[in-house]
Chain A
Amino acid sequence: MTDQIKISIRNLYKVFGANPKAALAQVLAGAGKAELLERHGHVLGLQDINVDMREGEITVIMGLSGSGKSTLIRHINRLIEPTAGRVEVDGRDVLGYGDEELRRLRREVMSMVFQKFALLPHRTVAENAGTTLKVRGVRHRDYIAEAHKWLERVGLKGFDGHYPHQLSGGMQQRVGIARALTSNSPIMLMDEAFSALDPLIRTDMQDLLLELQTELHKTIVFITHDLDEALKLADHLVILKDGHVVQQGEPQHILLNPSDPYIEDFVSDINRARVLRVRSIMTPLNGAAVPPEAHGEVGFNDTLESMIARSGGDTSHSYVVVRDGAAVGTLEMTNLVKALVPRVASEAGARKY
């Protein structure tokens, strides 16, 4: 994992309507989404979006329906043209690309996975998975072989000759992922890729994606409306509301420091013990000696839920946090319990006094 910024979105605006440029002037002059719709009949899709997506990371863009997340991801490969702003991939503004360059970008630099799978019903699974190579002019035999390799990798060995309608939803989306992987592009755009699947299958697919990611280190942009999914997958979490970014950052950090009542609402619903990790609440050693009274060693990335199970609920315990075999910090169970205090409760407490 490097710190290289792969995709950079700067001051991006999108207004839907008959005369977006004029409406944009209103937005820049301070008109809100509701006002723009009522007074000018234009819909404000995205408003001053600034996001950096790092190479080899999973950036999750989360928001409810209508928050503009699907619109945002389509700006990255220009399925939707912005009203104003910049979208840079590897430091080059894709909005300046001509037809030929744009096609090359879509063919070789990024590939997309869709919520409704969008497979071709008249082609076999292998032909579907090879579509991304076929459009580049790769010969049939070669792209089928490459597709076969990736189908096997996503757990669809032996299904090459089937047609999409013969597969279940989860399997169809595996084909969708194999299709994106076959293109061997460094960037993967996933538009609510798992939202149409039932919960158990969705968990499977999330695990599959994380497993693939440890190996392939793609730059993944993942759209979802499900906070649990977002927290599970994200290296960098961007929360959208009504077309603007409410908060972005490391997911654990957002969970512990929500900057906005909207996010507190979101965060209050989830199982904090399952999502929070030891690394987010430990006290770093910073060169100090390992305390001798520790009850044992715990992993840097363990969830708090596993810690509660391990301590048997005893809040007096403390542990040494280990990362790659070296001690990096200490964890007091009392701190752990403090981290689990629900946000809404603390707010209610603050109001009382």
Chain B
Amino acid sequence: MATYDFVFDGLGLRDWCNAGEASGAPLSMADLLAQGGAGEEVSVWNLPFPSLDALNDACGRISQSRDVTKGVENGFLAIKDALRFVLDPITQPLSWILEFALAVFEAAPWWIMFPVLMLVVYMASKSVRLVAFVTGCLVFLALIDHYDFAMQTLAIIFVCAFLCVLFGVPIGIAMSRNDTLQRMTIPVLDMLQTLPPFVYLIPLIFLFSVTEPKLYGIAIILYAIVPVIRLTDLGIRLVDKDVIEAADSFGMTDRQKLFGVQIPLALPNIMAGVNQTIMMSLAMVVIASLVSAPGLGVLVLRGIRNLELGVGLISGLGIVLLAIILDRVTKAALDRVNAAQKH
């Protein structure tokens, strides 16, 4: 005797329900337990919500909640092969790029990488103090033999952040020019930003082989591309209307206006987006070590799995140092852009 029997009795659906009973859905654990001590009277205080499971008790024809989960799974598995057939070749270059970048960063000896990185930092920031700070951090990491791991992490971040900018800026520009596209894209961006990073990984594991770098590459890009899209859209929409009007009055074409006025004036906002994108790639590259992304994240994972406290903490410190380096360098570049066009 189940709580919601009266609903089906009242609607005269009892026969329909009983007809379905014969098919005999598999028993859940709850059913088994209920069979032991059945027949308890349910008081009003314990009235269960008419969920699928509660209704199933009263009528065998109603699906159980686990069928929903099962349905989603089966649905995904059904389209998996077709999806992989399309996505696999498209995303294959990502694997190649990541493998290439990792190979280059690993193959280059430290006495070449150090000067190259110092030069990059100087070009971006034009600050000798910052170069000294970055060098200090790298020397520390190398001293405690975390240099190779740090380079792997950096290689992945460089590739993913570059691809985020490559795709994110044009998407942001398109959004800024088309209100409909903006309305349609924003919910997607909201979803990408609020889904817990682990959730991306689940369908990706089914789609691609875990040994393929593109698996974590896609997860990182999906997670980190959001800020650069948002801030490009915002930046272009915030460009001074008077300047746009002036550009129109001089007969600029759309292309001249975009590259000569809108993008340069939106650059501070776009750079702020790039900064956020890089920081989020770093956050995700650690989580992606769960799906075989190399780098400092692997050590963190080892620390957790084997309860090696020291390994976990030191590699965590390495990640913090990388984060500070990336943040300071991109902020310094951003400040230079801002200084060049203050009003």
- What residues of chain A have their CB less than 8 Å away from a CB belonging to chain B? 77, 79, 102-107, 111-112, 114, 116, 118-122, 131-132, 134-136, 163-165, 183, 189
B342 touches A111 (CB 8 A): no
A107 touches B342 (CB 8 A): no
Per-position contact with A for B236-268: 1 when CB-CB < 8 Å, else 0?
000010110110111111001000110011010
Given A121-B265, A122-B264, A135-B256, A183 and B250 touching (CB < 8 A)?
yes
B129 within 8 A of A: no
**Complex contacts, A107 vs chain B, CB 8 Å:** 250-251
Within the complex, which residue of B245, B248, B250 is in contact with A131, where a contact is CB–CB below 8 Å?
A: B250
Task: Give the number of residue pairs across the A-B interface with Cβ within 8 Å.
Answer: 60
B178 within 8 A of A: no
Within the complex, which residue of B248, B250, B341 is in contact with A122, where a contact is CB–CB below 8 Å?
A: B341
A118 touches B246 (CB 8 A): yes
The contact sample of 6 A-B pairs, CB cut-off 8 A, is A107-B250, A114-B242, A114-B245, A116-B242, A120-B261, A120-B264
Chain A residue at smallest Cβ distance from B253: A103
B340 within 8 A of A: yes
B305 within 8 A of A: no
**Complex contacts, A164 vs chain B, CB 8 Å:** 343
- What residues of chain B have their CB less than 8 Å away from a CB belonging to chain A? 240, 242-243, 245-246, 248-253, 256, 260-261, 264-265, 267, 340-343
**Complex contacts, B340 vs chain A, CB 8 Å:** 122, 163
A165 touches B342 (CB 8 A): yes
Within the complex, which residue of A105, A120, A121, A163 is in contact with B251, where a contact is CB–CB below 8 Å?
A: A105
Chain B residue at smallest Cβ distance from A99: B253
B342 touches A132 (CB 8 A): no
Chain B residue at smallest Cβ distance from A189: B249
**Complex contacts, A183 vs chain B, CB 8 Å:** 250
**What is the CA–CA distance of A110 and B213 in the complex, to the nearest angstrom?**
58
The 9 closest A-B pairs by CB, nearest first: A106-B251, A107-B251, A118-B246, A112-B249, A121-B341, A103-B251, A122-B341, A118-B242, A116-B242
B246 touches A165 (CB 8 A): no
A106 touches B264 (CB 8 A): no
Chain B residue at smallest Cβ distance from A77: B249
Within the complex, which residue of B246, B261, B267 is in contact with A114, where a contact is CB–CB below 8 Å?
A: B246
Chain B residue at smallest Cβ distance from A116: B242
**What is the CA–CA distance of A40 and B248 in the complex, to the nearest angstrom?**
31
**Complex contacts, B249 vs chain A, CB 8 Å:** 77, 79, 106, 111-112, 189
**Complex contacts, A111 vs chain B, CB 8 Å:** 249-250
**What is the CA–CA distance of A139 and B242 in the complex, to the nearest angstrom?**
26
**What is the CA–CA distance of A272 and B178 in the complex, to the nearest angstrom?**
54
> Nearest Cβ distance between residue A259 and chain B, in whole angstroms?
33
B343 touches A121 (CB 8 A): yes
> Nearest Cβ distance between residue B343 and chain A, in whole angstroms?
6
> Nearest Cβ distance between residue A37 and chain B, in whole angstroms?
24
> Nearest Cβ distance between residue A353 and chain B, in whole angstroms?
53
A106 touches B240 (CB 8 A): no
Name, among B245, B246, B265, the residue most crowded by chain A CB atoms within 10 Å (CB to CB). Answer: B246
